[in-house]
Amino acid sequence: MIRENQCYLNMNTIALITDFGLKDNFAGVIKGVCLKINPEASLIDISHGVLPQNILEASFLLLKSFSFFPGGTVFLVVVDPGVGSQRRALAVKTRNFYFVGPDNGVLWQSAAKDGIKKIISLTNKKYFLKEPSSTFHGRDIFAPCASYLSKGMDINKLGNSLNKIKSLCLPMASLENNRLSGEILYIDKFGNLVTNITKSQFLKFTKRRRFRLHIKSRVVNKIYSFYNQALSNNLFLCEGSFGFLEISLREKSAAALLRAKLKDKIIVKV
Amino acid sequence: MIRENQCYLNMNTIALITDFGLKDNFAGVIKGVCLKINPEASLIDISHGVLPQNILEASFLLLKSFSFFPGGTVFLVVVDPGVGSQRRALAVKTRNFYFVGPDNGVLWQSAAKDGIKKIISLTNKKYFLKEPSSTFHGRDIFAPCASYLSKGMDINKLGNSLNKIKSLCLPMASLENNRLSGEILYIDKFGNLVTNITKSQFLKFTKRRRFRLHIKSRVVNKIYSFYNQALSNNLFLCEGSFGFLEISLREKSAAALLRAKLKDKIIVKV
Amino acid sequence: MIRENQCYLNMNTIALITDFGLKDNFAGVIKGVCLKINPEASLIDISHGVLPQNILEASFLLLKSFSFFPGGTVFLVVVDPGVGSQRRALAVKTRNFYFVGPDNGVLWQSAAKDGIKKIISLTNKKYFLKEPSSTFHGRDIFAPCASYLSKGMDINKLGNSLNKIKSLCLPMASLENNRLSGEILYIDKFGNLVTNITKSQFLKFTKRRRFRLHIKSRVVNKIYSFYNQALSNNLFLCEGSFGFLEISLREKSAAALLRAKLKDKIIVKV
C-alpha cells in the first residue's frame, strides 16, 4: 500500500503509452493538458510507437515497464480503437500505481499483477475538458483524469466504482507431446524476436540436453548468456531484458532474416 | 492578461515545434540550452516531425495545440528556411502565452488568435549564445530567449518593439455555385485526412440532406460521430479532434487508400 | 571545478544518448529507473536514433552536445555492443559534468575535452538494480548509477578508481600533396553531409582561392554563409552548427542526391 505522506512526494510521474506516433501533436497536447492541471508532473514517454490499435502490444509494453517506475506513477495508456463508442473509460488504483485508459483489456494484466485496489469508471464530467470530442478521449478525458490523480486527488471523485474490468492475457507457452510450443510476443527495434518462453520453462523442458527450436522452417540450436558470445550470422537464443527467451542475430536483425512477425509460432524439441 | 504573480508559478513550460526530427541532437541541444538558463523549465515536445521547412504545417500544429497548455507557456517554434538571412527573429507576448520563432508567418495565426500584446525583434545579443552560428538560430538565439522568458524576464529586454509580424493564414473553405470547396490541411499518422471544413460549415451547407464529397475521383457520402460506427473499407467523414471534418477509413489509412497529399482539393455537393 | 553548493542546484539533469530508437520501451524504462532514485531529475533525450551499435556516431553526438548543457549534467550513453561481456562499465567525472556508459570509447573524446577528474569502474552492486540482466545494462546498471550521481552522491561510492579508459577519436582531416583530405563524419536528417574539415582549416588551405571539393565523382565549388544564399539544385559548402563544413543542397537532401554515407572520402584542391 502507498502511504499517504509518501504519495504526495512521489506521485507526480505520468508515464505514457500510446499508438499516436511522434509526427502529430497528439502526445504533446496530452502533456499540455496534464501540465495545466498539475504543473509539477513529470511526463515520461514509455512508447508512442505501439502498432496502430494493437491492444496486445500496448499491454505487453505496459506489463514490462510499470514496475521500474516510482511508486505512485500514473500510467496513461491510450490505445483505443473503440473511442467514442460505449466502451468504458477507467482509472484503476493498484497496490503501488494508478492506471488510466480505455476498458479494452490493455490495463488488465499489469493492474492485476500489481494488485487491484479500486476500479473507477470515469464518468464525472467535472474532471474532463469542456466539450470532449468523440475521437480523442486521450486528450479530453484520460489526460485530465490522470493528471488529477498525479496531484494526489482521491480516485473516487472521478466516477463510479466498478467490480471488474475487461481482461486480456498475453498468450502462454504450452507443453504437449514432448514439445514446448510458443509464439512471438514482441519484436524490438534491433530485430530481436521476443518469445513467450521463459528461460526457466526452457531449462525445465530441455534439462540442458541438445535442443532444436523451429521457427519458419529454420532451426535454432544455440543458447547464450549475452550477444557477444554468438558467432556472426548464426541465430541464437538469449534471455532478453523482458524476461523471455529471444531469438537474436549478433549485430543484425533476426526479424529481417526470418521475415518474422508477431504471433509467428515456435516449437522446441529435444 | 496574465497576472504577474501567477506568471512566476506557471511560466516554466517551454513547448517545442520544429522540423528537426529526432535522429539528430538538435532538439536535445536546444533543451540543454534552455535548462542551462532556467533549470526549472519543463520542456515539452509538441512535434519535431514537421515536414522539412513546411511553415504552413508548423503553423497548423501550433494553432491546434497552444490553447491546451498552461498559461504562461513559451512556444518555441523553429521551422526556419530563412535562417541566417535578413528575416527577423521574434518573441511575441499574447494574452496568455509567449511565442518565439522566425518572422516567416509561422507564429502569426496562433498569436493573433490569442491576442497580441507585444512584438519584440530579438536583437539584444546579450541574451544569445556567444558567437551564434548562421545555420542554427534555434539553438543560439531562439532557445536562450525563450528560456529567459520562461523565467519571467521582461520581454522588452530582448530587443526592439515592432508593430507587426509577417502573417500567414491557413486556407479557408469556400461556398460557391452550390458547392462547398476545401482542401486537405493535414494528414495525421493514422492516415486521417484533415480537411479545412468545420462540421458547422458542413451542416449549414448540407442541411442534413444527402451529400457527396469528391476527392481524387472518389466519393464519400457517410458521416459518423466516431470511428467505430463505420463499416470496414468504407471511407467516411468524422469530426476530428482538430475541430475539422476528417476523411477516415476504419482501422486503416485513408491517405494510403487515396494516395492523398496536403492541399488536395475536395468538393462537397448536395 | 564544480563548486559543491552549485552542484546540488544544477545537478539534476540526466541527458541520454542511445541506439534504442523510440518504438520500444527501453528509453522510457531507463527514465523510470532514474526517477525512482531521483524524483527531481530532469530527463532529456539527446538522441535515441544512433545507428545500431555505432559507437563512433554516438561519440560524435555526445561531443557536439555536452557543452550546451548545465554544469553538473550526467550524460548517460548506452551504445553497447559488448553488453554482458567483460567490457567495463564506467562513470567519469570531468571538470563540469559526469559521463556514464560502457568502456568502449564512446565517452572518451567528450570527457577528455572537458578534462577528466576521476574514472570509476561501476562495480558496487549496491547501486545496481537487483539481479541485473545480461543484455540491458542501460536499465540495470548505467541508469541507477547515473541517477545516484544526479542526486549528488559521491562518485567514489560506485566502484573502484581507474587510471584510464578506452579511447576513440573522430577521424581528422589531413593535408598532403596540396590536397586537403577528409571524410563524412555525420549525416543529419536534412541530408546535410557533415565533413571533418573546419572552416578555419579550409580557409588556411584555400586562402580564398577558387577550390574544388571532390566527393563521389561530383565537384562542389561554392561556399556560403547560410542556406538561403545558395541556388536551388546546386551543391554548396556551409559552416554548419557542428563547427564543421557541411555539403548541402538548398531545401533538399545532399545525401540523397549523392547517395552518400558515413566515411565517404572527400578531397579539396585549389
Cβ-based neighbour number of residue A25 at 10 Å: 30
Mutate to test the interface with A, among C14, C25, C128, C130 (most CBs of A within 10 A): C25
Q: Which residues pair with B239 in a beta bridge?
A: B245
Query: C-alpha distances in angstroms, A50 versus A77, A153, A242, B192?
Result: 11, 29, 16, 17
Query: C-alpha distances in angstroms, A168 versus A57, A113, B245?
Result: 11, 12, 34
Give the CATH number of the domain where residue B247 resides: 2.40.30.90
What the block records as the C-alpha cell of C14 is 540526466
Return the pLDDT at C134: 84
Tell me whether residue C169 is in a domain.
Answer: no
In whole angstroms, what is the distance from residue C107 CA to residue C63 CA? 9
Return the pLDDT at C4: 38
Distance from CA of B35 to the nearest CA of C (A): 6
Question: Do B218 and B158 share a structural domain?
Answer: no
Mark yes or no for CB contact C189/B24 under 8 Å.
Answer: yes
Question: Do A185 and A152 share a structural domain?
Answer: no
Distance from CA of A270 to the nearest CA of B (A): 42
Mark yes or no for CB contact B49/A83 under 8 Å.
Answer: no
The three-state secondary structure class of C89 is strand
Closest CA to A249 of A267, A268, A234, A261: A234
The dihedrals phi and psi of A269, each to the nearest 5 degrees, come to -125, 155
Cβ-based neighbour number of residue B154 at 10 Å: 10
Contacts with C88 (C-beta within 8 Å, 6 or more apart), sequence order? C102, C103, C121, C122, C162
Tell me whether residue B128 is in a domain.
Answer: yes
Is the Cβ–Cβ distance between A239 and C133 less than 8 Å? yes
In whole angstroms, what is the distance from residue C17 CA to residue C107 CA? 11
Provide the domain limits for residue A223: 174-269
Return the pLDDT at C226: 83
Domain termination site, one of B119, B142, B162: B162
Question: Do C197 and C91 share a structural domain?
Answer: no
Eight-class DSSP state of C233: T
Question: Do C254 and C126 share a structural domain?
Answer: no
Of the candidates B23, B35, B83, the beta carbon closest to that of C189 is on B23
Tell me whether residue B169 is in a domain.
Answer: no
**Cell 491517405 belongs to residue:** B255
Tell me whether residue A69 is in a domain.
Answer: yes
Question: Do C153 and C231 share a structural domain?
Answer: no
Mark yes or no for CB contact C39/A188 under 8 Å.
Answer: no
What the block records as the C-alpha cell of C154 is 559521491
Question: What is the pLDDT averaged over residues C34-55?
Answer: 95
Amino acid at A14: I
- pLDDT bracket for residue A1 (50, 70, 90): very low
Give the CATH number of the domain where residue B38 resides: 3.40.50.10790
Closest CA to C228 of C248, C210, C212: C248
Domain termination site, one of A104, A135, A162: A162
Is the Cβ–Cβ distance between B55 and B168 less than 8 Å? yes
pTM for the model: 0.94
Tell me whether residue A167 is in a domain.
Answer: no
DSSP string over C54-74: -HHHHHHHHHTTGGGSPTTPE
Domain termination site, one of A118, A134, A162: A162
Return the pLDDT at C11: 56
Q: Are strands C265-269 and A193-195 parallel, antiparallel or unpaired?
A: unpaired
Residues B212-232 have pLDDT tens digits of 999 999 999 999 988 888 888
Residues C64-103 have pLDDT tens digits of 999 999 999 999 999 998 888 889 999 999 999 999 999 9
In whole angstroms, what is the distance from residue B113 CA to residue B105 CA? 13
Amino acid at C157: K
Return the pLDDT at A111: 98
In whole angstroms, what is the distance from residue A150 CA to residue B41 CA? 19
Rg (chain A; Cα; Å): 21
Of the candidates A22, A35, A36, the beta carbon closest to that of B49 is on A22
Q: How many domains are there within chain C?
A: 2
Indicate whether A95 pLDDT > 90.
yes
Closest CA to B153 of B122, B112, B194, B188: B122
In whole angstroms, what is the distance from residue C193 CA to residue C63 CA? 17
Question: Do C245 and C210 share a structural domain?
Answer: yes
Q: What is chain A's mean pLDDT, rounded?
A: 93
Eight-class DSSP state of A93: E
Residues B62-108 have pLDDT tens digits of 999 999 999 999 999 999 988 888 899 999 999 999 999 999 999 99
Alpha carbon dihedral B209, B215, B220, B221, in 10-degree steps, equals 10
Tell me whether residue B47 is in a domain.
Answer: yes
Indicate whether A3 pLDDT > 80.
no
Amino acid at C202: F
Using the Cα atoms of residue B95, residue B97, residue B101 and residue B107 in order, give the sign of their dihedral: negative
Question: Do B185 and B99 share a structural domain?
Answer: no
Question: Do C186 and C145 share a structural domain?
Answer: no
Please name the helix (run of DSSP H) or strand (run of DSSP E) that holds residue A118, with its range, or none: strand A116-122
Distance from CA of A18 to the nearest CA of B (A): 12
**Cell 547464450 belongs to residue:** A224
Distance from CA of B216 to the nearest CA of C (A): 28
Question: What is the pLDDT averaged over residues C180-195?
Answer: 96
Indicate whether C6 pLDDT > 60.
no
In whole angstroms, what is the distance from residue B16 CA to residue A10 CA? 27
Tell me whether residue A10 is in a domain.
Answer: yes
Question: What is the pLDDT averaged over residues A228-241?
Answer: 90
Residues A110-131 have pLDDT tens digits of 999 999 999 999 999 999 999 8
Residues B175-213 have pLDDT tens digits of 988 999 999 999 999 999 999 999 999 999 999 999 999
The dihedrals phi and psi of A104, each to the nearest 5 degrees, come to -120, 15
The dihedrals phi and psi of A12, each to the nearest 5 degrees, come to -95, 20
Question: Do A190 and A156 share a structural domain?
Answer: no
Residues C94-144 have pLDDT tens digits of 999 999 999 999 999 999 999 999 999 999 999 999 989 888 999 999 999
What the block records as the C-alpha cell of C55 is 559507437
Q: Which residues pair with B162 in a beta bridge?
A: B119
Return the pLDDT at C1: 36
In whole angstroms, what is the distance from residue B64 CA to residue A151 CA? 26
Indicate whether A4 pLDDT > 80.
no
Question: What is the pLDDT averaged over residues C219-237?
Answer: 90
**Which residue in chain C is spatially nearest to B32 when comparing CA positions?**
C69
Mark yes or no for CB contact B227/A83 under 8 Å.
Answer: yes
Return the pLDDT at A177: 86
Please name the helix (run of DSSP H) or strand (run of DSSP E) that holds residue B174, with its range, or none: strand B174-176
Question: What is the pLDDT averaged over residues B149-165?
Answer: 96
Return the pLDDT at C233: 87
Residues A30-76 have pLDDT tens digits of 999 999 999 999 999 999 999 999 999 999 999 999 999 999 999 99
Chains in contact with C, where contact requires at least 3 CB pairs less than 8 Å apart: A, B
Tell me whether residue B263 is in a domain.
Answer: yes
Question: What is the pLDDT averaged over residues C8-26?
Answer: 85
Mark yes or no for CB contact B32/C68 under 8 Å.
Answer: yes
**Which residue in chain B is spatially nearest to A144 when comparing CA positions?**
B68
Q: Which residues pair with A34 in a beta bridge?
A: none
Is the Cβ–Cβ distance between C237 and C248 less than 8 Å? yes
Question: Do A263 and A218 share a structural domain?
Answer: yes
Is the Cβ–Cβ distance between C168 and C106 less than 8 Å? yes
Q: What is chain C's mean pLDDT, rounded?
A: 93
Question: What is the pLDDT averaged over residues B108-132?
Answer: 97
Collect all residues from C whose CB is shorter than 8 A from any CB in A. Answer: 20-29, 31-33, 35-36, 39, 43, 52-53, 81-85, 133-136, 139-140
Environment class of A166 (CB within 10 Å of its CB; exposed 0-12, middle 13-18, buried 19+): middle
Question: Do A193 and A97 share a structural domain?
Answer: no
Collect all residues from B whose CB is shorter than 8 A from any CB in C. Answer: 20-29, 31-33, 35-36, 39, 43, 52-53, 81-85, 133-136, 139-140
Question: Do A152 and A242 share a structural domain?
Answer: no
Using the Cα atoms of residue C216, residue C59, residue A23 and residue B79 in order, give the sign of their dihedral: negative
User: How far from each other are the two terminal CA atoms of chain A, in whole angstroms?
Assistant: 45
Return the pLDDT at B10: 40
Q: Are strands A98-102 and A74-78 parallel, antiparallel or unpaired?
A: parallel
Cβ-based neighbour number of residue B37 at 10 Å: 20
Is the Cβ–Cβ distance between A249 and A255 less than 8 Å? no
What the block records as the C-alpha cell of A227 is 550477444
Return the pLDDT at A101: 98
